[in-house]
Structure 1
Amino acid sequence: MSFNGEATSDVPTLPGTHSGIPPYLLDKARRAKDGVFDTRTKPVNERRRSVAVPQGIERDVFLKALAELKEQLGGQHVEINDKPLVDGWYMEHPNTHDMMTILDDEELVASAVVYPGSTEEVQTVVAWANKHRVPIFPISMGRNLGYGGAAPRVRGSVTIDLGKRMNKILDINPDDFTCLVEPGVSFYALYEALKEKGYDHMWLDTPDLGGGSIIGNTVDRGVGYTPYGDHWACHAGLEVVLPTGEVIRTGMGALPGNNTWQAFPYGFGPYSDGIFSQSNYGIVTKMGMTLMPNPGGYESFMYTFPNEEDLSLLIDIIRPLRISNILENVAQLRHVAQSVAARGLPRSKFYSGDGPVPDSVIHAAAADSPVGDHTWAYYGMSYGPEQFRAYKLSLIDAAFRKIPGTKKIDPATLPEDEYFWSRDRIAAGVPDIHELRWVNWTPNGSHIAFSPVSPIRGVDATALFALGKKYHDKYGIDFFPAFCVGLREMHLIVEIVFDRADPQRRREALDCLRDMVDEAARLGYGEYRTHLVLMDQVAGTYSWNDGAIMKFNEKLKDALDPNGILAPGRCGIWPRRYRGRGWEMTREKGIVAEGDGVSDE
């Protein structure tokens, strides 16, 4: 069977491959894959491609350097990227480019992919890159969808795919509630390992989709939805290959023979872990993580609220409950438009006109669902023994009912494929694959995220909602906002869904995002995370004191990576060789990712 010339195969599974789906999700994954290909119209390019050679090195010299690397690692562990770019889907994604590209396919593309099998082989690759001045771009598994996927920021970089051969769970300590993993360990894989070992007293915290790398997600400061949802705060100890090839261990790992590397994150002296998150200062090859104790019981709940204008009061109600941990997890307040899209049906099933789908159409679709019509839906979880849960849930219920028209949804009335049950599983530490169904909203569905951070205040939520709505209306894009509420802050996550086969839709999505980033910064709201294409712009908004933080970042980059080989441009941090040559992507520059060469210094 095939769709649009692209053959389908069965979904890869664990333990057969490190990037596979757990058997308990196999049927659901198959349905998700069918949904992706049912809406795909983008033609498949079957022609062989020319290798994208990085600027600063001649083609013949580069190919000879790759031949040398093959000799060092073994030919089967170095792949030249001269084949057609196949987008695949979530469980069979590419490691050469972004499967949800917002630019032309050839803009952010790797020249080759290498597969080291150990920290020592990562050192070998780094030494090779320094010798030949070749840019390298490490990925754990490349599933950072919405933020660039596996694509390198500099065209022609050699991708270091750490996950394929470095995918071991090195330790699970049932007494300390910790683990130690390599980059190729997904949330799916760790969950399966905990179950296999019978460690039901420990929970894993998982993001919306469980197929990503635990290291990759954590180092990029991703989040999950239990009380352990701040993944970076829950890590303990890194092993890092520096851009010059040295290996360090942070925290207690710097003490030979230590026995508390995963139990105490700080060690002695400066705390250096932070410079390896959202940076290009090192390649993380091992990471420790703390696991959550089984709370002895849990209960999901869902409330809906009828009006957009309820947002301000609702956020102000949530704030004291969240800060006091009555609302215990990183919960979601989701707009009805995204809830409708989460059914996985294309937009054309509801509306065929131009511009955003009218509110009347969205509300009619919601009214026809098991949840019923609403504007906001809050998904939460209460943890602990029944009597503790009952007390906390009574406080939550009394607070939410201050909003007229509030409804508490009875889970018993919801079918098993309702989105509520995905949130229930995730908040209980069970990885799922439901979340990306809303990407099927458009043909060749892709997404890119607007992710500003603000205090948990109604006035801030209202301002950010109005900002997003204004620019989505300007560009004719359907508006999918969701607020994720932490202990002292909240993230507004707006997913722009677009047809990646349509250059106009790609440009509209990018222009909309650029407008929102700039206006949010003027109002004092900064992005916590962004797509490769937006990194220079977002980094530029952190400009206090004449850009002091970027000057500091560049000093670190020049000291740690004097040859500028490691992930140049990631998070807006460019090595000295690239600066002043137009590599930064700005609105004025347009949609070209490359600059004018590199310095020979």
Structure 2
Amino acid sequence: MASSNSTFPPPPSLSSKYSGIPDRLAAIGVESKNRLLSKSTLPESAPRHHDVPRLPPDTTRAEFNQAIGELKQILGDQNVELNDRPLVDGWYLEHPNTHDAFHIALQEDLVSSAVVYPGTVEEVQTIVRWANKHKIPVYPISMGRNIGYGGTAPRVPGSVVVDLGRRMNRILNIDAENASCLVEPGVSYFALYEEIQRQKLPLWIDTPDVGGGSVLGNAIDRGVGYTPYGDHFANHCGLEIVLPNGELLRTGMGALEGKDGADNPTWQSFQPAYGPYSDGIFSQSNFGIVVRMGMWLMPETGHQSYLITFPRDEDFPAIIEIIRPLAQQRVLGNIPQLRHVIQELATTAQPKSAFHSSSGPIPRETIRQHASSLPVGDVSWVFYGTQYGDAASISSQLNLIEKAFGVIPGAQLRLPSDLPPEHYLHSRVSVCSGVPVLRELDWLNWVPNAAHLFFSPIVPTRGRDAEAVHNIVVRLHAKYGFDLFPTLCVAGREMHYIVNIVYDRASVDEKRRAAALMREMIAETAAEGYGEYRTHVLFADMVAATYSWGDNALMRFNETIKDALDPNGILAPGRNGIWPKRFRGKGWEILGTEVEEALDGKGIGPSSS
């Protein structure tokens, strides 16, 4: 258990470790880590109750030991690690690769039996063939920073995690003329940005809110950022994939042989190539292991970030109605964010106790009281946007935007120069101009032992649809006693309504309530026609089941592909709700209250596992 004045070892630097942070953020990283871990009331590690290491399904201890010994002979002892040590949750940049650092079930419910670290594409192929031979499921990760969606946790306990990042973290190419790059899974946004700066190239990357994640991993999970290149999967170009039988596939123009054995010059230039466009089936799936990916980069340009505040909660649907035509007409320069003012409190990095000492959600009047002393004042909604181009075009765009939002009484536009340097808007300036940062970690200080869980439905950009989802989310957060942190990433036709459920992972009660809240939000919004685009590994079956049109035609199609490509069911079974025939219908699916029940010690999966 940490005391309030504890000092912890500094996070690793990018120069010493592929997953570290650049020197420019070293002091911020130390402060962020110390601030968060000093509030921990948990022991560094908790005792384990299952057999250690956890065995894969249908595998005896003798069979497992023989298989692991064989893998060590092939890859070397140092590249195969048994998961037989205490489970430590770690910190954002020093996370475990054995389970979910932000566990919503019990800490050891989703654990691997071992972790393997391939260093080449050929070694990934070897691991997949080994898994088929021994019928041991494997679960690939890029860097394991799937925070809020399950981290590194395999859906089937006892699976072998294939950590691609530790030894496959090369930037294979940056083509300045083509404004593109080719990367391996262990390349973080930090690493790609720093390399572009080192080469002094006039290019931007598009980064999520926090820059420590994998460029490849985020794109194939269809993550988003905030420049005009913010749809990451839409801006990838070319995949190299190890299929579940160990064969190697290149998609798009990569399927064309290059001259004299070299990569052909159009692989990172054109996405579909000839014939069916197959890239999409390797995003959010378990149909293959992506080992290389091309990504388009944005030529640098002028930019101006800003925020607009709105005074009343009930302004919400009118704000959405104004955003839609501005986005459709491409007046808005990027995918903007609309946040509730409670996040102005959270991004100060102060705990909830600094604003509200009682239990239960922080009252609206208390939020109003504290917001009045913050730079944006007593408002309800804050819109964060960025415009791009030369000074004249940016000025013209801002005039149009200010006039459009000006129909809402009390709306006020502010530039970074209008706000103190510590305000969150200055972080958005960096993110929206392709500079990866750490600032978004600050809200993790809201509660002790903070963890979070994302609920992420897609909603049409219409006031009535936004209000329908918002009302469900507000009501259910009140029912289960959680503060509501909504962030809307709003485009011209749809918006990602992202809810951040922040809970104390030391509290079984909070975890149970958070799981029940998640379950009910999935069900109620789906009943109104709104589905999640991405979810936590433990809720994948529930979300997949909501896409049930045509007697579950989509899932039957996915299962057909899965069974054809992976007849032994070894590659990430259960990921995104897709189960191979070997596991299907045998008690692994989570469609009800199984997550809450697991917190009573029942565990995840069939009792015989």
1:437-492 C-alpha deviation (Å, 9 max, x unpaired): 11211110000011000111111111111110000000111011111012321010
- Per the alignment, residue 88 of structure 2 pairs with 86
Paired with 1:46 and 1:303, the residues of 2 have a C-alpha distance of: 46
Offset at residue 410 of structure 1 (A): 3.9
Matches within 5 A, 1:26-105: 26-45=26-45, 50-105=52-107
Determine if the alignment matches structure 1 residue 551 to structure 2 residue 584: no
User: 1:581, 1:596 within 8 Å by CA — same for their partners in 2?
Assistant: no
Picking from 317, 323, 339, the partner of 1:312 is 317
- Paired residue type of 1:22: P
- Paired residue type of 1:23: D
Deviates more, 1:425-434 or 1:484-493: 484-493
Offset at residue 414 of structure 1 (A): 2.0
Look up the SS of the partner of 2:88 in the other structure: coil
- Per the alignment, residue 118 of structure 1 pairs with 120
Determine if the alignment matches structure 1 residue 326 to structure 2 residue 328: no
User: 2:326, 2:492 within 8 Å by CA — same for their partners in 1?
Assistant: no
Picking from 369, 377, 380, the partner of 2:374 is 369
User: 2:322, 2:405 within 8 Å by CA — same for their partners in 1?
Assistant: yes
Matches within 5 A, 1:185-196: 185-196=187-198
Offset at residue 45 of structure 1 (A): 2.7
1:11-44 C-alpha deviation (Å, 9 max, x unpaired): 1111211101011111111111012112211122
Determine if the alignment matches structure 1 residue 10 to structure 2 residue 10: yes
- Per the alignment, residue 108 of structure 1 pairs with 110
User: 2:98, 2:112 within 8 Å by CA — same for their partners in 1?
Assistant: yes
- Per the alignment, residue 523 of structure 1 pairs with 528
Offset at residue 382 of structure 1 (A): 0.7
* Structure 1 consecutive aligned stretches of length 4 or more whose deviation exceeds 6 Å: 4-7
Offset at residue 172 of structure 1 (A): 0.2
Determine if the alignment matches structure 1 residue 301 to structure 2 residue 312: no
Deviates more, 1:159-168 or 1:36-45: 36-45
TM-score (norm 2): 0.96
- Per the alignment, residue 270 of structure 1 pairs with 276
- Per the alignment, residue 143 of structure 2 pairs with 141
Residues 456 and 83 of structure 1, relative CA distance in 2, 3 Å threshold: same
Paired with 1:120 and 1:103, the residues of 2 have a C-alpha distance of: 35
Offset at residue 597 of structure 1 (A): 5.7
- Per the alignment, residue 265 of structure 2 pairs with 259
Determine if the alignment matches structure 1 residue 583 to structure 2 residue 588: yes
- Per the alignment, residue 165 of structure 2 pairs with 163
Paired with 1:6 and 1:182, the residues of 2 have a C-alpha distance of: 37
1:287-320 C-alpha deviation (Å, 9 max, x unpaired): 000001112x111111100111101111000000
Determine if the alignment matches structure 1 residue 469 to structure 2 residue 477: no
User: 1:166, 1:183 within 8 Å by CA — same for their partners in 2?
Assistant: yes
- Paired residue type of 2:92: Y
1:195-240 C-alpha deviation (Å, 9 max, x unpaired): 00010x2110000011000010000000000000000000000000
TM-score (norm 1): 0.97
Residues 46 and 594 of structure 1, relative CA distance in 2, 3 Å threshold: closer
Paired with 2:266 and 2:416, the residues of 1 have a C-alpha distance of: 42
User: 1:209, 1:432 within 8 Å by CA — same for their partners in 2?
Assistant: yes
- Per the alignment, residue 604 of structure 2 pairs with 593
Paired with 1:190 and 1:45, the residues of 2 have a C-alpha distance of: 33
Picking from 340, 348, 354, the partner of 1:349 is 354
User: 1:6, 1:44 within 8 Å by CA — same for their partners in 2?
Assistant: no
- Per the alignment, residue 261 of structure 2 pairs with none
Matches within 5 A, 1:211-290: 211-257=212-258, 258-290=264-296
User: 1:533, 1:593 within 8 Å by CA — same for their partners in 2?
Assistant: no
Paired with 1:205 and 1:322, the residues of 2 have a C-alpha distance of: 19
Paired with 1:256 and 1:206, the residues of 2 have a C-alpha distance of: 32
- Paired residue type of 2:606: G
- Per the alignment, residue 394 of structure 1 pairs with 399
Look up the SS of the partner of 1:483 in the other structure: strand
Offset at residue 46 of structure 1 (A): 6.4
User: 2:5, 2:38 within 8 Å by CA — same for their partners in 1?
Assistant: no
User: 1:109, 1:156 within 8 Å by CA — same for their partners in 2?
Assistant: yes
Look up the SS of the partner of 1:451 in the other structure: strand
Paired with 1:103 and 1:319, the residues of 2 have a C-alpha distance of: 39
Paired with 1:507 and 1:538, the residues of 2 have a C-alpha distance of: 19
Offset at residue 373 of structure 1 (A): 1.5
1:344-370 C-alpha deviation (Å, 9 max, x unpaired): 111111112122100111111111112
What runs of 5+ residues in structure 2 fail to find an aligned partner?
Answer: 259-263
Residues 4 and 553 of structure 1, relative CA distance in 2, 3 Å threshold: farther
User: 1:236, 1:288 within 8 Å by CA — same for their partners in 2?
Assistant: yes
User: 1:451, 1:530 within 8 Å by CA — same for their partners in 2?
Assistant: yes
Residues 475 and 47 of structure 1, relative CA distance in 2, 3 Å threshold: closer
Paired with 1:362 and 1:514, the residues of 2 have a C-alpha distance of: 27
Paired with 2:8 and 2:58, the residues of 1 have a C-alpha distance of: 39
Deviates more, 1:522-531 or 1:51-60: 51-60
Paired with 1:270 and 1:566, the residues of 2 have a C-alpha distance of: 23
Residues 584 and 56 of structure 1, relative CA distance in 2, 3 Å threshold: same
Look up the SS of the partner of 1:380 in the other structure: strand
User: 2:2, 2:40 within 8 Å by CA — same for their partners in 1?
Assistant: no
User: 2:516, 2:593 within 8 Å by CA — same for their partners in 1?
Assistant: no
Identity of aligned residues (%): 53
Look up the SS of the partner of 1:9 in the other structure: coil
Residues 393 and 413 of structure 1, relative CA distance in 2, 3 Å threshold: closer
1:157-189 C-alpha deviation (Å, 9 max, x unpaired): 100000000000000000000000000000000
Paired with 1:275 and 1:203, the residues of 2 have a C-alpha distance of: 28
Paired with 1:409 and 1:175, the residues of 2 have a C-alpha distance of: 36
Look up the SS of the partner of 1:141 in the other structure: coil
Offset at residue 5 of structure 1 (A): 13
- Paired residue type of 1:309: E
Paired with 1:4 and 1:565, the residues of 2 have a C-alpha distance of: 45
User: 2:252, 2:267 within 8 Å by CA — same for their partners in 1?
Assistant: yes
User: 1:315, 1:461 within 8 Å by CA — same for their partners in 2?
Assistant: yes
Count of residue pairs the alignment pairs up: 596
- Per the alignment, residue 573 of structure 2 pairs with 568
Paired with 2:312 and 2:466, the residues of 1 have a C-alpha distance of: 14
Paired with 2:507 and 2:567, the residues of 1 have a C-alpha distance of: 40
What runs of 5+ residues in structure 1 fail to find an aligned partner?
Answer: none
Paired with 2:4 and 2:47, the residues of 1 have a C-alpha distance of: 16
Look up the SS of the partner of 2:572 in the other structure: coil
